[in-house]
Amino acid sequence: MNSRPPITLRDLAALDVGQLKGIGEKKRASLAAFGIDTVLDLVATYPRRWVDRTNEARIADLVPGQEALVLVAVRSVAKRTTRNRRSMVTASVGDGSGRMEVVFFNQPWRERQLKEGLQIALFGKADTYRGGLQMSNPIVDLIGDRTGKIVPIYPQSEKAQLNTWELAGWIEEALRRCRDRGIADPVPKQVVSRLGLIGRSEALSSIHGPDSIREKEQARRRLAFDELLRVQMVLVLRKRELERSSQGLSHTVDGELVRRFHEALPYPLTDAQTRVIGEIDHDLASSNPMHRLLQGDVGSGKTVVAVSMLLAAVQGGHQGALMAPTEVLAEQHFTGVRALLGDLKVPDPGNLFGDRPLRVELLTNRVTGSERRDVLAGLADGMVDIAIGTHALIQEGVEFSSLGTVVVDEQHRFGVEQRAALRDKSSGHVPDLLVMTATPIPRTAAMTVYGDLDVSVLDEMPPGRTPILTKWANGPLLEVEVWADVRHEVAEGRQAYVVCPLIEESEKLEVASAEETFQRLAHDELKGLRIGLLHGRLSSAEKQITMDLFRSGQLDVLVATTVIEVGVDVANATMMVVLDADRFGIAQLHQLRGRVGRGQHASTCWLVTQEHDEGNPRVEALVASTDGFELAEVDLDLRGEGTLMSTSQKGRSDLKLASLRRDRELVVLAREAAFEIVDADPDLVDHPVLRDELDLLFTEEDEGFLAKS
């Protein structure tokens, strides 16, 4: 009878791979070069492909011109040099059903790789050649002499001298040794059975050696769930910890001030705005500090939501702060919010009339001298109700009387330090925090990337916006039409933005290219129009002057780099031209496009690409849709996986099998399970294996990274 407890991941991490049969010094070094040091690293090296022997096409089933996978044995190999001095390796391969020829150009090493008798999987397109079948430059996976219906294929490395059948053998051996004690399952039984997951032991065996593709899929689902659950556990533990350790304010949510503000608006709130304000109010009323992300496409009306939240603080006798990433945006918000608030009064029993005007002030590094002293004094004694500014708001030397709510606009990384700075500003209690972004993130990705935030979504546009027509000027011939269109629009009294090519590698080059574009347009295509230039190397005073000229209609066209990406709001600008649009990402193009379509006139966005292009999925996606969330999904699909952690932290805690794209449903389930576990057992006393696994797999750095989002 063996009564030892099941093996944990920590046990496996304590075993050196060198202890396995067949791994000597040399192989151990090869594995180390691959990042595999322990048995845990080894069994967590998953196949990158599974070949189904029972079902894959045989040579006899190949159809010329179509891509297919075949499993074959090498019969003979030959190398020669072609007339134009290219190397050419030819292999004759066969299976029970027939034979064919495979040719590799410029891959002389194939001669050494493809030994006679070796089993290989080939993926490629077969063609008829001299009466027989031939595949050229197919993808090759070496299979060795593995048996079994489904053959796992591991990442291989010619250089490190590791091949898939060796890895398969060692993993098999490692798992065989675990069999007696079994592998511990840290996920609560009720979660496993509710979600219809298979056990972890079984999943590990099946991922490496499934009997069917279905079995492999079940194994993948279970192990992917585990990866996602661990990430969510870290995030949810931190969220709950933050809530427990900090004292927030319980705000008065249904007060006079917010009600009057809503009544005075020139339009009714959209359903989405009403819903999101309700979600926020719910948090504001509770004494747990709120930490919420508000996602809303450009123009979805986030400002009204933000101002409602600032006023909720004010009506309870506290203050609100709105923070923007740049001075220009802070100033714009300041003007906009003041206009929105009109002549709203705050109740003031000490005043003869029982109220006083609401006081809103701007604080950036441009506010200096006595003006600054005045604002700082007002913040400290509570006479300033709402402060709008940049990071200057949380700098040292700025004291609030009682900061109740904070809205942060367009700041993706408002991390732990900033939150700590806020706490210091507010005499012990933590203000409620709303982070707003116009960059739509698919909901499930947001749950992981912004996992310790609650998420609200403004998914409805206010009525009355004119939809933006997006067109692709594919190549130089169509560009002519773009400039004619700009001239036409200007003749109608409208204005246009021209965004210069993005040069990520160098701001200097980008500025040079913007200047060049400006000169060219001014002397040629747009000669005679009033044109301004805006780029990152200008002083903020110079930028201000240009923006003011454009805003007041004294410029027809604004040539700019992406400095205009966020927040600039000129209702009379109805045309956006993006040059070299293929250099931009989907999200960025969508942001840029959001600069137009802000007034009552119809707007156009031209996406210009230099060379005529057969197809460009990103540009086409923008032409097809104006829905930011839909575009975010497309973006995720096009970009593929990427990693969760920053590249330097790619490691044990990263997602190996789970995909934020494919496993949306699992992300939600993992998050629910994490809440269920943490809320029933906040210190994981009853889940020692799970707790230990998190300690083992996540470094402090990883946790910091996840929480910083």
- Cβ closer to ligand ADP: 297 or 510? 297
- Using CB under 5 A, count the residues that bind Mg ion: 2
Pairing of strands 454-458, 468-474: unpaired
Binding mask 375-414 for Mg ion (x = CB under 5 A): ----------------------------------------
Binding mask 298-337 for Mg ion (x = CB under 5 A): ----------------------------------------
Residue 298 or 388: the one with the smaller Cβ distance to ligand ADP is 298
Which listed range, 119-127, 263-271, 375-383, 517-525, lies at the site for ligand ADP (CB under 6 A)? 263-271
CB of 409 to ligand ADP, least distance (A): 8
Q: Is 597 in the site for Mg ion (CB under 5 A)?
A: no
In whole angstroms, what is the distance from residue 528 CA to residue 331 CA? 32
Cβ contacts of residue 130 below 8 Å, gap of 6+?
none
Read off the DSSP letter of residue 580. T
Q: How far is the CB of 525 from ligand ADP (least distance, A)?
A: 31
Residue 16 in contact with residue 148, Cβ under 8 Å?
A: no
Instruction: Count Cα neighbours of 447 within 13 Å in the Cβ-side half-sphere.
Output: 21
Strand partners, 437: 295
Which residue number, 382 or 462, has a Cβ lying nearer to ligand ADP? 462
Per CB under 6 A, does 267 bind ligand ADP? yes
Residue 248 contacts which entry, ligand ADP, Mg ion, none (Cβ below 5-8 A, type-dependent): Mg ion
CB count in 10 Å sphere of residue 371: 13
C-alpha 572/C-alpha 168 separation (Å) is 65
Amino acid letter, residue 407: V
Q: Give the range of 29-37, 262-270, 372-380, 654-662 binding ligand ADP by CB under 6 A.
A: 262-270
CB of 440 to ligand ADP, least distance (A): 11
**501 contacts Mg ion (rule: CB under 5 A):** no
How close are the terminal C-alpha atoms of the chain, in Å?
50
- Segment interacting with ligand ADP (CB under 6 A) among 20-28, 265-273, 358-366, 497-505: 265-273
- Strand-by-strand arrangement of the 468-474 sheet: 468-474, 603-609, 573-578, 495-499, 557-560, 531-534
Q: How far apart are CA 305 and CA 273, in angstroms?
A: 7
296 binds Mg ion (CB under 5 A): no
Helices marked H in 316-415: 327-341, 369-381
Burial class (CB in 10 A: 0-12, 13-18, 19+), 256: middle
Given candidates 209, 248, 440, 594, which one binds Mg ion under the rule CB under 5 A? 248
127-186 residues near ligand ADP, rule: CB under 6 A:
none
The minimum distance between CB 251 and ligand ADP, in angstroms, equals: 22
Candidate segments 426-434, 503-511, 623-631, 691-699, binder of Mg ion by CB under 5 A: 426-434
Tell me, residue by residue from 286 to 325, as one string, x for binding to ligand ADP by CB under 6 A and - for no binding: ----------x-xxxxxxx---------------------
Identify the residue among 73, 269, 285, 455 touching ligand ADP (CB under 6 A). Answer: 269
Least CB distance to ligand ADP at residue 388 (A) = 14
Binding residues among 484-503 for ligand ADP as defined by CB under 6 A: none
Q: How many Å apart are CA 70 and CA 612, to the nearest integer?
A: 38
* 232 lines the binding site for ligand ADP (CB under 6 A): no
Cβ closest to ligand ADP, residue 410 vs residue 663: 410
| CA-to-CA dists, residue 391 to 330, 382, 394, 396, 436, angstroms | 10, 20, 6, 10, 15
Distances from the Cα of 460 to the Cαs of 271, 417, 470, 610, 629, in angstroms? 8, 33, 20, 35, 11
Q: Tell me which residues touch ligand ADP (CB under 6 A).
A: 267, 269-270, 273, 296, 298-304, 438, 462, 464
Q: Tell me which residues touch Mg ion (CB under 5 A).
A: 248, 432
